[in-house]
Amino acid sequence: MDFSAGDIVKTIVIADDHQIVREGTKKIVASIDNTSLSGEAENGLEAIAAVKNHRPDLLILDVAMPLASGVEVFGETRRWSPETKVVLFTGFTSVGLLSNWINTGIEGMLLKSCGPEQIRECLVTVLNGGNYIAAEIVDMLKNSEDMSELTQREREVMSLIVAGNSNAEIGEKLFISIKTVEKHRGSLMGKLGVRSVADLMVVAHKEGWLDEHKQL
Amino acid sequence: MDFSAGDIVKTIVIADDHQIVREGTKKIVASIDNTSLSGEAENGLEAIAAVKNHRPDLLILDVAMPLASGVEVFGETRRWSPETKVVLFTGFTSVGLLSNWINTGIEGMLLKSCGPEQIRECLVTVLNGGNYIAAEIVDMLKNSEDMSELTQREREVMSLIVAGNSNAEIGEKLFISIKTVEKHRGSLMGKLGVRSVADLMVVAHKEGWLDEHKQL
DNA sequence: ACGTCTATGGGGGTAGAACCCCATCATGAA
DNA sequence: TTCATGATGGGGTTCTACCCCCATAGACGT
C-alpha cells in the first residue's frame, strides 16, 4: 500500500446511482490505507459537480446513470480534473460496450461481479499510477476480435439481420440489390464462423446488441 | 413501520456472495426500525447454516451462490425454519428464472436494480406478513404468457432451433421426422407471434436462454 | 361416445437462403 | 502503376424453410 510521496491521503469519489453499490464500495475504499472518500454522486450531473469541486485522485464511475452518462462524466472529468484517475465500474458485460471504453484511455475497468479483493487491488494499482483491467474483461475482449474484422457495411447488414429482416427487406432499406445483401451476409457469417441465424444472434447478444435493460 | 406484537425485534440474515451487495443491503436493513442483522452468508452452505442457527424472521437470498444454489437454500430454509420469510434478491432479469421462483411461494422478490426505497418497502411488507413482488418483475412476467402456451414438445424443438440446429438435425436428435419438426416449428412460432429465427432468439433471450453469466 | 388437444407424419408446392461462378468500379497503400 | 480490399451486382443452382392439404393414434374431459 505505497502511494508515492509518503503519507499523502488520496481522495476518492464514488459515482453510482444505486445506493447498494455506493455503500458496498465505500466499505472497500475504507479498507484501503491513506485514502479518503471525498464525495459521492448518485447521478451523472452530481458526479461532474463532485469532480469539479473535489478534484479527487480517483473517480469510481458507473457506466450508466441518470442525467448524464458515464461517457459524458468521463469527458468532463478529463476536462476539469485531468489528474483524476478513473475506474469504470460496470454491471454490463456486453463486449461492445467494454471494448469502446478500452479506447478512451481509462485507467481501470471492473465488473461489479468482481470480488472485493480484486476491487481493492484495482484501486490500489490505479492510485499507484498503474492501469488495471479486470481479467474477466480481458478474456471477454479476446473473444470479440472476430467482430472487429467486419467492415462497416457488413455490420449494417448484420444489424438488420439481427432485427429480423429478410434479404429483400435489407436490400430495400440499404438501397442495394439482394445479390449484394447475400454477398455481405455470406462474408460476415464466414468471418464470425457461424452457420445459422441463431448462432449469429448469440454473437450479437455477446456484443450487447440484444440488451435493453441495465444490470446493477 | 408496524411489526405486530409491539417492539419485538425482527431478525434478518443476508445471503449474497458479493460483499458489495451485502454491505449495501446491511445499510438498508439498518435503516428499518426494530430489525437486527443476525447473520450473513457469502455462499449457499453458510446461508443454510445461518438459517439453522438463527432461525431468522427474514432471509434475503441471492439466487446463485457458490456451494449451494438459491433453490437449495430456499428448500433447506423451508425445512429447518419454516417461519422464516424469504425475499429473493436477484441480478438476473431472465423471465424463465423469475417465473419459476413465483411458483415456490416465496414471500418477496426484488431485482438488485430496485432502488433503496423499494427494497425497504419490500422488506417491511414481508416482515409485516405480506408478500411483495417488485413491479418490474410483475411486468416482465406479464410479457411471458405466450411462452406458457407452448407444449413440452414445442419447447424442445425451440431450444434446438435456438441452439442453431436445422430441421433435419432436430429430427435426428429427437428421433422424429422432418415433417414433424416443421409442424412443431410452425406452431411454436405462430404462438409466439414471430416470423424469423432472429425474432425467436429475442424471445429466447428474454427467457434467459442465452444467458450464461451472472450479473451482480 | 364424442370432442379437443397433442404428437406424429405424408404429399405437394413455392419462396427464400445459401453458395458457386463471374464481373466492374473506387479507394488506398506500396 | 500495380495490387488488394471493399462495395456492388449478375447468372445459375441447390437446399431449406414455410405453408397448404391430408391423415392416424392416444390421452383427457364432458
Q: Which residues of B touch A168 (CB under 8 A)?
A: none
Per-chain mean pLDDT for chain B: 85
Please tell me whether residues A86 and A103 are part of one structural domain.
yes
| Helix axes of A197-206 and B197-206: crossing angle, nearest 10 degrees | 40
Please tell me whether residues B133 and B53 are part of one structural domain.
yes
Please tell me whether residues A134 and A177 are part of one structural domain.
no
Whether B180 maps to a domain, the answer reads: yes
Q: What is the CATH number of the domain that holds B39?
A: 3.40.50.2300
* Of the residues B114, B142, B170, the one at which a domain ends: B142
- Is the pLDDT at A216 greater than 50? The verdict is no
Q: Which residue is nearest to nucleotide C5 (CA to C1')?
A: B151
- For chain A, the domain total comes to 2
Whether B4 maps to a domain, the answer reads: no
CA closest to B210 among chain A residues: A202
Please tell me whether residues B132 and B186 are part of one structural domain.
no
Q: How far is the CA of A60 from the C1' of C19 (A)?
A: 51
pLDDT in tens, B54-102: 999 999 999 878 788 888 899 999 999 999 999 998 876 677 777 778 8
Strand C at less than 7 A from CB of B176: yes
Whether A106 maps to a domain, the answer reads: yes
Whether A5 maps to a domain, the answer reads: no
Q: Do B216 and A25 touch (CB under 8 A)?
A: no
Q: How far is the CA of A158 from the C1' of D9 (A)?
A: 19
Please tell me whether residues B46 and B35 are part of one structural domain.
yes
The rounded distance, in Å, linking the Cα atoms of A123 and A130 is 10
Q: Do A215 and B161 touch (CB under 8 A)?
A: no
Our CA angle for A76, A80, A82, nearest 5°, is 95
Among B181, B186, B127, CA closest to B156 = B181
Please tell me whether residues B130 and B55 are part of one structural domain.
yes
Please tell me whether residues B110 and B134 are part of one structural domain.
yes
pLDDT of residue A209: 83
pLDDT of residue A215: 41
Interface of B with A (CB under 8 A): 18-28, 91, 93, 111-113, 115-116, 119, 161-166, 194-199, 201-202, 205, 210, 213-216
Please tell me whether residues A157 and A134 are part of one structural domain.
no
Of A113, A196, A199, Cβ closest to residue B18: A113
Q: What is the CATH number of the domain that holds A156?
A: 1.10.10.10
- Is the pLDDT at A64 greater than 90? The verdict is no
Higher pLDDT, B17 or B110: B110
pLDDT of residue A213: 41
The confidence band for B111, taking pLDDT boundaries of 50, 70 and 90, is confident
Please tell me whether residues B116 and B92 are part of one structural domain.
yes
Q: Which residues of A touch B112 (CB under 8 A)?
A: 18, 20, 215-216
Please tell me whether residues A33 and A127 are part of one structural domain.
yes
pLDDT of residue A200: 93
Size of interface A-B (CB pairs under 8 A): 116
Quick one: what percent of chain A has pLDDT higher than 70? 92
Higher pLDDT, A112 or A121: A121
Q: Do A23 and B24 touch (CB under 8 A)?
A: yes
Structural domain of B171: 145-206
Nucleic acid strand D: bases within 7 A of protein CB: 6-11, 16-20
Whether A124 maps to a domain, the answer reads: yes
* Minimum CA–C1' distance nucleotide for B156: C7
Of A19, A91, A210, Cβ closest to residue B116: A19
Please tell me whether residues A63 and A85 are part of one structural domain.
yes
Q: Do B216 and A216 touch (CB under 8 A)?
A: yes
The confidence band for B142, taking pLDDT boundaries of 50, 70 and 90, is low
The rounded distance, in Å, linking the Cα atoms of B45 and A53 is 46
* Of the residues B89, B108, B142, the one at which a domain ends: B142
Whether A211 maps to a domain, the answer reads: no
**B144 within 8 A of B99, measured Cβ to Cβ:** yes
Whether B71 maps to a domain, the answer reads: yes
Average pLDDT over residues B145-158: 88
Q: Do B215 and A210 touch (CB under 8 A)?
A: no
The total number of residues written for chain A in this structure: 216
CA closest to B89 among chain A residues: A216
pLDDT of residue B58: 95
3-class secondary structure per residue, chain B: CCCCCCCCCEEEEEECCCHHHHHHHHHHHHCCCCEEEEEEECCHHHHHHHHHHHCCCEEEEECCCCCCCHHHHHHHHHHHCCCCEEEEEECCCCHHHHHHHHCCCCCEEEECCCCHHHHHHHHHHHHCCCCEECHHHHHHHHCCHHHHCCCHHHHHHHHHHHCCCCHHHHHHHHCCCHHHHHHHHHHHHHHHCCCCHHHHHHHHHHCCCCCCCCCC
* Of the residues B109, B142, B175, the one at which a domain ends: B142
Q: Which residues of B touch A24 (CB under 8 A)?
A: 18-24
Please tell me whether residues B21 and B103 are part of one structural domain.
yes
Average pLDDT over residues B143-170: 88
CA closest to A159 among chain B residues: B198
The confidence band for B212, taking pLDDT boundaries of 50, 70 and 90, is low
Whether A161 maps to a domain, the answer reads: yes
- Classify residue A175 by its DSSP letter: T
